[in-house]
Amino acid sequence: MDFTPDDEQQALREAVRGLLATTYADHDARRRTVAEDPGFDEKLWGRLAEMGVLGLPFSEADGGVGAGPVEIGIVCQELGRVLAPEPYLASVVHAGGLVAACGTAEQKADVLGRLSAGDLVLAAADTAPGARWSSANDGVRATVEGDAWTLTGVADPVVGGARADLLVVTAALPDGGTGLFLVSPEAVERTGYVAADLTRAASVRFDASAATPLGEPGRDLSASIATISDLTRIMGANQALGVMQSQVRATTDYLKSRTQFGVTLNTFQALTFRAADMYVSLEMAQSMVDWATMTIAGGDPAVVADAADRVGLTIARTGRHVGQEAIQLHGGIAMTAEYAVGVGAAHVEVLGQWLGNGAHHLSRLADRVGEHEMVDAV
Partner 1 sequence: MQLELSPTDAEFRTRMRELFTTKVPQEIRDTVLAGRHLSHDQIVESQRILNAEGLAVPHWPTEWGGQDWTDLQRHLWHEEMQRAGVPLPLAFNASMIGPVIAQFGTQEQKERFLPATANLDIWWSQGFSEPDAGSDLASLRTSAVRDGDDWVVNGQKTWTTLGQYGDWIFTLVRTDPEVKKQAGISMLLIDMTSPGVEVRPIELIDGGHEVNEVWFSDVRVPGDLMVGDPGQGWTIAKFLLGNERVGVAPVGATKRALARLKSEAADLMDDPLVRARVAELENDLLALELTALRVVAHSSDGAPHPASSVLKLRGSELQQAVSELALDLAGPASLAARADDDSPQEGWARRSAPTYLNLRKASIYGGSNEVQRQIISRTILGL
How big is the CA angle at 151 (ends 148 and 154), to the nearest 5 degrees?
Answer: 170
- Reported as type and span, the H/E element at residue 350 is helix 340-355
266 binds partner 1 (CB under 8 A): yes
Q: Is there a contact between 149 and 160 (Cβ–Cβ < 8 Å)?
A: no
* Contacting residue, 8, 138, 207, 277, with partner 1 by CB under 8 A: 277
Shortest distance (Å) from residue 350 CB to partner 1:
22
Shortest distance (Å) from residue 266 CB to partner 1:
4
Helix (H, G, I), strand (E, B) or coil at 58: coil
5 binds partner 1 (CB under 8 A): yes
Distance CA 252, CA 240 (A): 18
User: Residues 337 to 376: which contact partner 1 by CB under 8 A?
Assistant: 362-363, 365-370, 373-376
275 binds partner 1 (CB under 8 A): yes
Shortest distance (Å) from residue 38 CB to partner 1:
34
* Contacting residue, 61, 196, 297, 337, with partner 1 by CB under 8 A: 297
Binding mask 63-82 for partner 1 (x = CB under 8 A): -------x------------
Comparing CB distances to partner 1, the nearer of 1 and 105 is: 1
Distance CA 80, CA 83 (A): 5
134 binds partner 1 (CB under 8 A): no
Distance CA 92, CA 80 (A): 15
Q: How do beta strands 122-125 and 166-172 pair?
A: parallel
Distance CA 3, CA 96 (A): 27
158 binds partner 1 (CB under 8 A): no
Query: What is the residue type of 314?
Result: T
291 binds partner 1 (CB under 8 A): yes
Shortest distance (Å) from residue 10 CB to partner 1:
11
Shortest distance (Å) from residue 129 CB to partner 1:
27
Shortest distance (Å) from residue 230 CB to partner 1:
16
Q: In this structure, how many other beta carbons lie within 10 angstroms of the beta carbon of residue 65?
A: 17
* Contacting residue, 46, 252, 320, 353, with partner 1 by CB under 8 A: 252
Interacting span for partner 1 (CB under 8 A) from 44-52, 100-108, 168-176, 309-317: 309-317
* Contacting residue, 143, 222, 272, 353, with partner 1 by CB under 8 A: 272
Residues near 108 by beta carbon (within 8 Å), at least 6 away in sequence: 58, 61, 62, 99, 100
Q: Is there a contact between 326 and 250 (Cβ–Cβ < 8 Å)?
A: yes
Q: What is the DSSP letter of 174?
A: T
> Which residue in 286, 168, 177 sits closest to 228, CA to CA?
168
260 binds partner 1 (CB under 8 A): no
Distance CA 319, CA 237 (A): 10
Residues of this chain that bind partner 1 (CB under 8 A)? 1-6, 9, 70, 252, 255-256, 266, 269, 272-273, 275-277, 279-280, 283-288, 290-291, 293-295, 297-298, 310, 313-314, 362-363, 365-370, 373-378
